[in-house]
Amino acid sequence: MKKIILVVSLAMAVSASAFAAKKEKKAETTESAATTFKSSSASGPTDIGLGFSTMDSQNSGTGRAVSALFELNDKSAIQVLFAIHGVSPFTFTAGGIYKMNITGNRNTGVHVGGGLSLGTISAGNNIGGAINAAISGANVGSGTSFGVNILPNAGFHFTVPGMDKILFSFDTGLVLAIIGGSVDFGITPYSNLGGLSIHYML
Between 54 and 41, name the one with better pLDDT: 54
Query: DSSP states of 38-82 as a string?
Result: HHHHHTS--SEEEEEE-PPTTTTS-SSEEEEEEE-SSSEEEEEEE
Listed residue (164, 197, 174) closest to 42, CA to CA: 164
First-to-last C-alpha distance (Å) of the chain: 69
Please give the sequence-ordered ranges of beta strands (E in DSSP) within the chain, or none if there are none: 48-53, 65-71, 76-87, 90-104, 109-122, 144-160, 163-179, 182-189, 197-201
Burial of 121 (0-12, 13-18, 19+ CB in 10 A): buried
* Residues 72-95, mean pLDDT to the nearest whole number: 88
Q: What pLDDT is stored for residue 40 in this prediction?
A: 39
- Cα 82 to Cα 202: distance, rounded to the nearest angstrom: 19
Percentage, residues of the chain above pLDDT 90: 30
Q: Determine the average pLDDT of the residues in 10-32.
A: 53
Out of 41-45, 114-118, 145-149, 191-195, least confident range? 41-45
Contact 121, 105 (CB under 8 A): no
Q: What's the pLDDT score for residue 9?
A: 54
Q: pTM, whole model, 2 decimals? A: 0.67
Mean pLDDT of 104-127: 81
pLDDT tens per residue across span 14-24:
455 655 555 56
Segments making up each domain of the chain, as ranges: 1-42, 48-201
| pLDDT higher at 134 or 61 | 61
Contact (Cβ atoms closer than 8 angstroms) between residue 92 and residue 160: no
Look at residue 36 and tell me whether its pLDDT is greater than 80: no
pLDDT digit string (tens) for 153-192? 999 999 999 998 999 999 988 888 887 777 877 777 777 7
